[in-house]
Amino acid sequence: MKSDIIIIGAGPGGYHTAAYAVRHGLSVTIVEKAEAGGTCLNCGCIPTKALCHDAEAVEAATRICGTRPAVDFGKIAARQQEVVAKLRQDVETLLAQTGVTFVRGNAVLKDDHTIVANGEEYQAGNIIIATGSRPKMPPIEGINLPGVMTSTELLAIENLPQSLCIIGAGVIGLEFASVFNSFGCEVTVVEYMKECLPPYDQDISKRVRKAMEKRGIKFVMQAAVKSIAKNGDNLNVCYEYKGKAGETSAEMVLVATGRAANIENIGIETAGIATERGHIIVDDNMQTNIGHVYAVGDVNGRCMLAHAAIMQGIRCVNNILGRNDEIKLDIMPSAVFTNPEAAAVGLTEAQCKEAGMEYTVKKTPFRANGRAVADEADGGLIKLITKNDGTILGCHVCGAHAADIVQEAAALMSLGCTASKLHDITHIHPTIAELLRDSV
């Protein structure tokens, strides 16, 4: 079979790219060895957001009733699976309706125009690798014991553990910590770094941690996990903290220490595709060193976010078509859907200092905002970083609707607007988003 483009992987970077290419007149074959939707839909962003939704309902009921309601985790798990199944079917329908040829199988590159799947050869003018990533497992003694899980396995459990130890305080670790705490699980987070959410501005990450500690989540920072051992029905997680041995015990252990790109067994060596530190090397058009082969999403390691993969896919199709675009891949908002929520775009204050930049910081607390007070969300903070001429360098938020606020800042940054333009933009009242206008 021949097409204009072959895409390996049907995650967000794959199926969105396929649909965009077809809309612009290209024929597309997409090959997926697992389920349509990739990690994000099947065992990542979407199922965790289903859990976040139910966790918010539990927190609301607790606030109103005065006591935490009993949680039927079986119903929560079943609803999560229903959400995933529906959206997976939607992705398959999208591909079918747009005329994309969907092949189930393991694709292996034969050369820069050919892949082999299910014993059949498929050819195309261009190939896009969108194989995503998987949980990275550190070399810890006992990490393969029953009860030690990655996010994929934890999302598949049907019974709520009484206690959970999470190794890693990044986005994945904190979202699970927040959710399982809301469901009534005793949660301990063990992190090697000095602060949680390492990519985030420290004012925001510290605020998130402090808020989660108030909810009863225990954090052990600057601790290196050395081993995991079975102890009756529980697991002992042994760590070293400032030269001293420490230990915590839990029914289950989640390993959330990052993700590794899926570059094995897809024939990149045969095709001569260059890699570095476990990722495929690409230029700003997502093109590899082999002219007709591209790589988008987690597999290239540039930005391991689903929406980054989508925009990278659009960029690479535009390059194939010879079209120019104004996508600014360096302006990439992100969010962590903990309670409280956090989000960010642009440079942190530490990055500005390291670069020797002149900048101004304005911190705007939520406590004076009517909607935040009404929603019992007045502990939040917006941190806006600008140049002296008003150019927005970064926007960092901890609190309710953080992602929505940061999205507005990202739009302004992408359009090259200065912060002063916020004065000319009417914001709906009462909303927490009004605080962004107050930040100037």
pLDDT digits (tens, 9 = 90+) for 294-329: 999 999 999 999 999 999 999 999 999 999 999 999
Asked if residues 190 and 165 have their Cβ atoms less than 8 Å apart, the reply is: yes
pLDDT of residue 274: 97
Dist. CA 99–CA 36, nearest whole Å = 15
State residue 155's pLDDT score: 97
Would you give the distance in Å from CA 2 to the centre of its chain?
34
Residue the block writes with tokens 């109103």: 64
Give me the pLDDT at residue 182, please.
97
Q: For residue 376, give the 3-state DSSP assignment.
A: coil
Between CA 201 and CA 396 the distance in angstroms is: 7
Q: What is the pLDDT of residue 362?
A: 96
Catalytic residues: 429
Taken in order 189, 190, 196, 199, the sign of the CA dihedral is: negative
The whole-number pLDDT of residue 242 equals: 87
Q: CA–CA separation, 220 vs 336, rounded Å?
A: 20
pLDDT number for residue 1: 82
Ranges in the chain, pLDDT < 70: none
Would you state the pLDDT for residue 239?
A: 98
> DSSP secondary-structure letter at 297?
G
